[in-house]
Every structure is written in structure tokens, then in C-alpha cells.
A and B are shown apart, each in its own frame.
Chain A
């Protein structure tokens, strides 16, 4: 008789996984980070959020509280491999201090990451 744990493991569904980008958490006291297209090869900044609220692009309330920690979502414009993420981080590190990077994957074509408000 299988245990609950064994039953649970057996229910796992195999998914197709595709690396599509990186969430990079940048620390800066100089306001919302700015990037230029092509600066980091195939990685293009899609949005920047602060405390989960989108601060670029689009409308930002002048009242919005911002801290010195920005989530910058970079989505690749071409298919990418792990070593390109490593190269991207080397390039980013030359200009920015960052606390963490989280790779973004699609699972069976569905985004495995949340949008920002």
C-alpha cells in the first residue's frame, strides 16, 4: 500500500519547460533603473516594479512609496540557453548592484511567473 507521500509523487505531470527570461532584483538609491534596448543582448526589459507595483512603463502616482529595491523583468527576444543568462548577469554586474536573479520559465507554454500591478 503506497503512502500518501508516494501517491503524491506519482501524480506529478511532466511539462515542457522553456527558459524565457530573468527577474533581476536591483538595489539602487538613484531612482528607477533605465536600460537601453540591445544593451544586454537578447534580454529586453519588459517592466520594472517596486514593492510589486509597476513603476515603468506607464502611469506612476506621485504618492507612490518606493524603496531602493527594484524588480526588473527581462524577457529574451530570441530563444536562450543558461549560459546566456550567465553572460547577462556578468554584463549587468558591471553597472548595477543586484540582490538576486530569478530565471523565468514557461511551463507547457504558460508563464510560470506573475505579472506586476
Chain B
């Protein structure tokens, strides 16, 4: 597979170092730095939480938890393990997915199966998202995946489903889903030109 080159547009790498520098200041209790971090990450955080939870009120609540966690745990951010944005987005995605799973635990199994039938995470996202440059690029990269790769990746990420649920939903073996999530993400990584 030939990786597609990233477009010569702002891909957040300038922000990347800026955000990391700011997070180090936040770790020392710098509130002014935190306000700047807030302005850089609040929209990505709220966006991802909203896609997963699909309920604005709950999403606002979870986004608040995530942003306060960024303040609280800033000293635990380690730039040698990944970018600042990835650290923040991992917290956001985990909180949102955990909230969905906690809610699901109380839902009876049939309802859950019904939800699996009607919920098409990627289509839902595509219909509701703002058409930004970054979304356009992501969409183009997603369309370079096989159908099964794309579904495996987006059901897990935007739908908050476990790989077992994704396998059940797409009616494919567990091992296949695991493999498709991995090779799908690898292809996305190369297409987006993610720094490694």
C-alpha cells in the first residue's frame, strides 16, 4: 500500500508543540496557560464526547469532567509518550465510552440489540459534523479503507462499542474484527501522515 501524502495545510503540528509547552505550565498550576489550553482543546473534546454520547446535556457534563481532568492530571502528561492532543483526546474518548457502557449495563439485552441495529455511528457523525478541512481529510482517508475496516474502526471509536460488540454487530469472527481495527488504523495513520 502506498501511503498518501498529507496535504500541505496546517495539520496541527504547530499547535502540537505549543500545546505541550502549555501543558507543562499547567502542571505547575498556571491558570492563564490552562485558559489557552482550554481554547485549543475544548472543541475537539466536546466534539468527540458528543459523537459518542449523542446527547448535548450529558456531553457537556462529561466534557467538563474531561477538561477539569486535564487541569488536575497535567503533571502526568509525558510528551515522550505522545502528543498533548492525543493525551487529551484519549481522556475524552475514554470518559465518553465509559459513560455509554455504564448506561448500557442497565439496559436490557433486547433493547441493546435493537440499538445495535439502528445506530450507524459513521453515518450519524457524517451527518452532524461541521465540514472542516480536517474532517474532509479524515473522510477521504476513511473512504480509502475497506468497508469492514471502516465499520470496525468507526463503530468502535464513534459508537463506543467493544470489539466483541462490533464482531456481533457485523457478524464476523472476533479475530477478524481485531485485525481489521488494527490494519484499518494503520492505513489511516499512513494516510493522515500521523507523526510517529
A and B bound?
no
Residues of B near any A CB (own CB < 8 A): none
